[in-house]
Amino acid sequence: MSYVRTHTCGELCGKDAGKHVCLSGWVNKRRDLGGLVFVDIRDRYGMTQVFFDPNANAELFNLASSLKPEYVISVEGAVSLRPEGMVNSSMSTGEIEITADKLEILNTSKPLPFNMDQDNLDENLRMKYRYLDLRRPEMSANLRLRHKVIKAVRDYFDAHDFIEIETPSLVNSTPEGARDYLVPSRVHPGKFYALPQSPQLFKQLLMVGGLDKYFQIARCYRDEDLRADRQPEFTQIDLEMSFVERDNILSLIEGMIAFVFERTLDYSVAAPFKRLTWLEAMDKYGSDKPDLRFPMEIIDVSDIVSDSGFKVFDSAVSDGGRVRGIVVPKRGSSSRKECDAIIEKGKEFGLSGLVALAFNSGTPKGVLTKFLKEDRINELKKAMNAGGDDLLLFAAGESRSISVALGKLRLYLADKFQLEPSERFNFLWVVDFPLFSIDAETKRIVAEHHPFTSPVPEDEGLMETAPLKVRSNAYDLVLNGVELGSGSIRIHSRSLQERLFKVIGLSLEQANEKFGYLMTAFEYGAPPHGGIALGADRLTAIMAGKDSIREVLAFPKNHQAICPLTGAPVRPSDEQLKILNLKVNCSSEV
């Protein structure tokens, strides 16, 4: 008997009744019912029920009775309509079943390390036996979606005259704010390649090379602390263009997103996307990647509540701080205990004195009613656009830090109260980022985006005198509160690039040593250029409704940057180390 299929397991339906077919796949389940055996055979296309009758062929029936989950089988038989009342409308093949006349076991399977139908499986176990996990329909659907997204991206850029160009993986350092993964060179003892944190410098050089419109589905490597949406290696939809300004890139990407969502999810995305300046985002939402699916804007009420006699507010404002609040819709009837729990949570976010004002059928309750007369309360309510059943929460203190903390509280409350998101996908551009910031650890000036980002022309003159006031020509795309990608219009002149390096503390010598080749290229007719890179994994994960990018990666690493399947990273053999002229000074456990 041949195991070559006539059909897949997701293909047959009522109109195929009467055909003689061959299906091959995995045993999903065997059911022994009233002396009959039913087997669901599965492949990535779906599942089909196969029926074995002891009276028709006892030998075949006995073989079918021995089938266990994940055995690989091939069956031949006739397609027949299921009897009345047995049709399963939740299965694409639910109208039919195969009455088997041949069965071959192509391979057996050990008992499974986990129940593949179960929800909330242990993720490390899933990763260790990824080849089993990938057999689950959910995983193959995720990978298929990813394939379709990337295919749509390629088609979109191709239609817009972009050229897909591969850039090298063994490179000199391309800084994006993380540590490099290093690869020792055998040929040049003591020297190392870095794996690219992004194709940043190569794509800029492609513009100097006149390629004009470049894109790449680029693998990037960053050695940084891992969180739910991070992996040591990840994929970017990377592009660069010449002779463009910011808005050209933004509208190109809006078009790409609309095209990809339409093509893959049949979902129409409204463009242009909303834009916020970085300052607005920080003030109104306390985050540079605000999730605008939930209202709860942070509102400054300092002018309304100052001089009220309420000491916390009065002294914050007189010390140069602000009073800001958020409205939690329809939670005015929260109990004292619930409010206290929120205030306690606020402390975790750095809000020492969160003050609640609750409206219950229009009547205000809370300590502020002792200090604010009715007209001020009404003014407050109006300024915050609050309703008669809402809960208002206020914080006083240093402007930026209370906004950041209220921003965290806002997201916590949206989750806690399961607020209905206003839409499935919310896109937002954050623009006018600061060019520089102060690194929290080293307290040194660093490039907020990367050091190849240009300042907005009006602010260029402030680079040396007031660097923290300089806005950059950078932009971030945010989707549902997740930073989907970053880009910028780049520096394309040697002198400006040298000035920027100087501000971040790189001497001319160091700058030349690290990035001399880029600055030299700028001296040979570099066109103005800019670009962006979007996280392909994050985009697909959000489209698939998943919280973790691991769900859209075939072979991800775990939180410790370990591949539970292959065991990587591993200690090289002594022989390998010798060839590379390397000595390892610690035990592998360290």
Q: Does residue 200 touch ligand ASP according to CB under 6 A?
A: yes
Q: Which is nearer to ligand ASP, 527 or 572 (CB)?
A: 527
Min dist CB 495 to ligand ASP, Å, is: 21
**Which of 28, 49, 74, 198 forms a contact with ligand ASP (CB under 6 A)?**
198
Residue 550: closest CA among 533, 563, 568 = 563
Cβ proximity to ligand ASP, 10 vs 530, nearer residue: 530
| Binding flag, residue 497, ligand ASP (CB under 6 A) | no
Q: List, as one string, the DSSP characters of 316-354.
A: HHHTT-EEEEEEETT-TT--HHHHHHHHHHHHHTT-TT-
Stretch near ligand ASP under the rule CB under 6 A, chosen from 17-25, 205-213, 297-305, 486-494: 486-494
CA dihedral 135, 139, 141, 145 (to 10 degrees): -130
What is the three-class DSSP state of 379? helix
Least gap, CB of 218 to ligand ASP (angstroms)? 9
**x/- string (CB under 6 A) for ligand ASP, residues 528-547?**
---xxx--------------
Question: Segment contacting ligand ASP (CB under 6 A): 49-57, 282-290, 376-384, 484-492?
Answer: 484-492
| Stretch of residues binding ligand ASP (CB under 6 A), selected from 315-323, 367-375, 402-410, 525-533 | 525-533
- Residue 486 contacts ligand ASP per CB under 6 A: yes
Least distance (Å) from ligand ASP to the CB of residue 450? 6
CB of 128 to ligand ASP, least distance (A): 31
Bridge partners (DSSP) of residue 532 are 239, 487
Q: Which is nearer to ligand ASP, 52 or 452 (CB)?
A: 452
**Single residue of 403, 472, 488, 497 touching ligand ASP by CB under 6 A:** 488
- Residue 374 makes CB contacts below 8 A (sequence gap 6+) with none
Distance CA 23, CA 4 (A): 8
Enumerate the β-bridge partners of residue 488. 474, 531
Q: Are 504 and 436 in contact (CB under 8 A)?
A: yes
Nearest to ligand ASP of 518, 533 (CB atom): 533
Please say whether the beta carbons of 476 and 276 come within 8 A: no
Q: Which is nearer to ligand ASP, 200 or 540 (CB)?
A: 200
* Residue 235: strand pairing partners: 219
Residue 269 beta carbon to ligand ASP: minimum distance, rounded to whole angstroms: 21
Measured from the CB of residue 120, what is the shortest distance to ligand ASP in angstroms? 33
Using CB under 6 A as the binding rule, the residues of this chain from 141 to 180 that contact ligand ASP are: 176
Residue 452 C-beta: closest distance to ligand ASP, Å: 8
Q: Is residue 498 at the binding interface for ligand ASP, with CB under 6 A as the rule?
A: no
Q: What is the C-alpha separation between 360 and 368, in angstroms, rounded?
A: 15
Considering beta carbons, is residue 109 or 248 the nearer one to ligand ASP? 248
Judged by CB under 6 A, the residue of 94, 346, 487, 564 near ligand ASP is: 487
Q: Is 403 in the site for ligand ASP (CB under 6 A)?
A: no
**Nearest-angstrom CA–CA distance, 553 and 536:** 10
Nearest to residue 425, comparing CAs of 250, 259, 277, 270?
270
Phi, psi of 80, rounded to the nearest 5 degrees: -130, 150
> CA distances (Å), 487 to each of 109, 179, 457, in order?
49, 20, 17
Q: One-letter amino acid identity for 73?
A: I
Rounded Cα gap, residues 79 and 394, in angstroms:
68
- Residues forming contacts to ligand ASP in the complex (CB under 6 A) are 176, 198, 200, 486-488, 531-533
